[in-house]
Structure 1
Amino acid sequence: LNEYFKKKKSLKDIINFYFKNYRLSGLDKRFIFNIVKGTVRYYLKIDFLLSLFSDRKIKDIDFVVLNILRMGIFQFMYMDKVPSYSIVNESVELAKKNVTLSSSKFVNAILRKVSSVPNIDSFAKDKIDRLVEDEVDKISINYSYPGWLVKYWFDWYGKEKTILICQSLNENPHIYLRFNKNKVTIDELTREMDVISVDFGQLPTGISGMLDGIIEVSSVQDITKTEIYRKGLVSVQDLSSQIAVSYFINPQEGEKVLDVCAAPGRLLLLK
């Protein structure tokens, strides 16, 4: 986070560098990725909330301490499976190790205040509604998008569509894998991957039956290291690409299909 906010480096490049150079388990990588990506995504809202609990202005807080606090508050807001005491203790230890003892006391005081609020996300939304008058600013802070961008959307699409745009862009992207169901089973896949769902009941009628060779996974961080990937039994493939071939083109036995944009040609393997 320090590199991202201060040096304006690509977040993807920073994360990949540390994951490549430090030995971390797949679970640790996903945990770190979620905290870092989430903190960056919601930092405007987090900073607004932090300003309510701190006597110091955001610009006056030590930069490293600020990012420690941001990560802690993000976990309180969006990672309810992490115990409150763990968030506070780990944040305090980070401040002790990387800044000073007095800074760790400041971190402890702020995060304990935050932890005392029953539903911190609802608390933040209520404060934004009551303390921020301008509608553009409200949306900007609540969904953590720059004011100029929210104003652009607001002027073009109006309030309701702007909110829908922000909500959609803040959703975590779905990751789908296409697998060769003739050579590998769901049970074999689940032993190597964290499978979330194989239920596509919300898709239009007729599509779900054609997509039985698909799984949704939480992460593909280490997929290249799995045996099933090295053997070519699975490939990362967007759902829309799979629907395009399996549903709309729906090639039949004996037909010839020319894909003029094939690179590397995985769509041709769908049927």
Structure 2
Amino acid sequence: MTESAQGAGPARLEAWNVLERVRHGAGVSEALSEAGKRSLSPADRALMTQIVHGVLRNQRYLDAWLEPFLRGELDPSVRDILRMALFQIGFLDRVPTYAVVNAAVEQTKTVAPRATGMVNAILRRAPSQKPKNVSLGVEFSHPDWIVRRWQARYGLERTRHMLWVDNQVPPLTLRVNLGRIARETVLAQLQAQGVRAEASRYLPEAIRVSGPLWLEDLPAFQEGNVTVQDESAMLVTWALDPKPHERIVDLTAGLGGKTGHILEKTQGEAEVTAVDLAQNRLSLLRENIMRLGYAHHVSIVGQDSRIFSLEHPKQFGRVLLDAPCSNLGVLRRRSDARWRKQEKDLGGLATTQKALLDAAVRLLKPGGVLVYSTCSVEPEETTDVVRKVLESHSTVHIEPVQDFLPASAFQDFTQEGFLTLLPGDLGMDGFFIARLRADVREAE
């Protein structure tokens, strides 16, 4: 590493590397995870993560801030350096402005030496000339199509709040395996490490962490008794209400967060199958289930859920489909998602979701329960999908999901039997959950 590169600081250097990977198509979580394997101090790792998410969440605003000072095309690598610097100057206060400018200049000497003078000049002038009188989309760094959709449905003030929520650092929420350890014991472990945390008011297994936490140092995590999961995602398993000795399938299971919750709810006494097509996700799912101590209690299938349903019709008493979606309910966590989606994508996603839900219905035994969920609250991906699929299955009906949720507070967010949490409701991620049941007579 050159002397100039070292002057930029390890957190900024790794943040720049992560942003470059994201720019070339990597997911932000994947890129951050890879960077986290390098020898960074906890403080540098935290700053790197803060800079990356901060730049992505505020990207449009940062570009509007830069625009008056640019002449012609800007090298994307240099733009990332400028975005990082302006984010630190405009949104953080831990490093003085002069130090941020100096670090950006030193980094530019390594990345694009010819641009060093330009970067220095821009960062000397820009701090006193922030954007003014900008649109909601620029102010909160969202694509105009999202702002337009939400404002038409929810009005100006609610939309402004949702946009603001998307740009906040999301809380870390832990799910405790209550069959093995008391929530109070985990809270005591966190307190012993000096971590600020409190019990959730809405779910008995959830803990909200408000301070920095290095999970690997937490005994409950080392022992497989704690998992990171937002409260709204935990509600999916509550809606499913899994029971011991049932045959249960988790379709498009991803990394196994909900599979693990099902196993915890049944203490490994249900016959659980997790299905996903992507081999890389299945590998991580196996690791996660092994850490929880349930490796011998689940069958993992690498297959398209639609094909799986053709081979196993009417064989499961509980079916969970947390469908692939636009992620528009969790933009505060997936800070790159807002820039990867376009409004026209919703139609294609809805087509896939309908096919997957139709496959999920095919798996249901008579009298069986199916839960359909998404981390999007867009009608095309939620209520429209459920209603369209039910038109083809007369022996499957909606059950009021609120009857299975752990707190009365959720009553205020249910309509026509569906749960819809908008981003920030009850401090949670945006989520949609529907619970369906096949009639006791033969399901179609």
Match of 1:168 in 2: 165
**1:189 is the counterpart of 2:190:** yes
Which segment is superposed worse, 37-46 or 7-16?
7-16
SS in 2 for 1:214: strand
Q: TM-score, normalised by structure 1?
A: 0.70
Q: Distance in 1 between matches of 2:205 and 2:184?
A: 14
Q: Deviations over 1:106-156 (max 9, x none)?
A: 2222112234x3xx7xx43xx1x1xx5xxxxx0111111112222232334
Q: CA deviation at 1:185?
A: 6.4
Q: Deviations over 1:12-42 (max 9, x none)?
A: 222222223x222222211101101110111
Provide the alpha-carbon RMSD of the alignment: 3.6
Match of 1:103 in 2: 115
Alignment of structure 1 residues 136-175 onto 2, 5 Å: 138-175=135-172
Q: CA deviation at 1:174?
A: 1.4
Is contact 2:197-2:207 (8 Å) kept? no
Q: For the structure 1 residues 172 and 104, does the alpha-carbon distance in structure 2 shift closer, same or farther, using more than 3 Å as the test?
A: same
Match of 1:9 among 26, 36, 39: 26
Q: CA deviation at 1:90?
A: 1.2
Q: For the structure 1 residues 41 and 185, does the alpha-carbon distance in structure 2 shift closer, same or farther, using more than 3 Å as the test?
A: closer
Is contact 2:62-2:83 (8 Å) kept? yes
Q: Distance in 2 between matches of 1:48 and 1:182?
A: 46
Match of 2:53 among 18, 37, 40: 37
Match of 2:85 in 1: 72
**1:56 is the counterpart of 2:71:** yes
Same amino acid, percent of matched pairs? 26
Match of 1:27 in 2: 43
Is contact 1:195-1:215 (8 Å) kept? no
Q: Deviations over 1:75-134 (max 9, x none)?
A: 11211222222211211111112210x42222222112234x3xx7xx43xx1x1xx5xx
SS in 2 for 1:195: coil
Q: Deviations over 1:200-243 (max 9, x none)?
A: 7xx5xxx6xx86983514456x5246444212454334345779
Match of 2:402 in 1: none
Q: CA deviation at 1:181?
A: 4.7
**1:18 is the counterpart of 2:18:** no
Match of 1:252 in 2: none
Q: Distance in 1 between matches of 2:123 and 2:157?
A: 34
Q: For the structure 1 residues 191 and 85, does the alpha-carbon distance in structure 2 shift closer, same or farther, using more than 3 Å as the test?
A: farther
SS in 1 for 2:196: strand
Which amino acid counterpart does residue 108 of structure 2 have in structure 1? A
Q: Distance in 2 between matches of 1:197 and 1:225?
A: 15
Q: Distance in 2 between matches of 1:56 and 1:2?
A: 22
Q: For the structure 1 residues 35 and 159, does the alpha-carbon distance in structure 2 shift closer, same or farther, using more than 3 Å as the test?
A: same
Q: TM-score, normalised by structure 2?
A: 0.45
Q: CA deviation at 1:68?
A: 0.2
Which amino acid counterpart does residue 21 of structure 2 have in structure 1? E
Q: For the structure 1 residues 85 and 156, does the alpha-carbon distance in structure 2 shift closer, same or farther, using more than 3 Å as the test?
A: same
Q: How many residue pairs get matched?
A: 234
Q: Distance in 1 between matches of 2:85 and 2:143?
A: 22
Q: Distance in 2 between matches of 1:236 and 1:242?
A: 10
Is contact 2:190-2:218 (8 Å) kept? no
Match of 2:99 in 1: 86
Match of 1:114 among 126, 146, 166: 126
Is contact 1:154-1:162 (8 Å) kept? yes
Q: Distance in 2 between matches of 1:183 and 1:26?
A: 26
Q: Distance in 2 between matches of 1:237 and 1:14?
A: 20
Match of 2:264 in 1: 266
Which amino acid counterpart does residue 44 of structure 1 have in structure 2? R
Is contact 2:189-2:219 (8 Å) kept? no
- The structure with the largest strand share of the pair is 2
Which amino acid counterpart does residue 196 of structure 2 have in structure 1? I
Q: CA deviation at 1:69?
A: 0.3
- The structure with the largest helix share of the pair is 1
Question: Where does structure 1 lack aligned partners over 5 or more consecutive residues?
Answer: 133-137, 249-256
Question: Where does structure 2 lack aligned partners over 5 or more consecutive residues?
Answer: 1-18, 250-257, 268-405, 407-444
SS in 2 for 1:198: strand
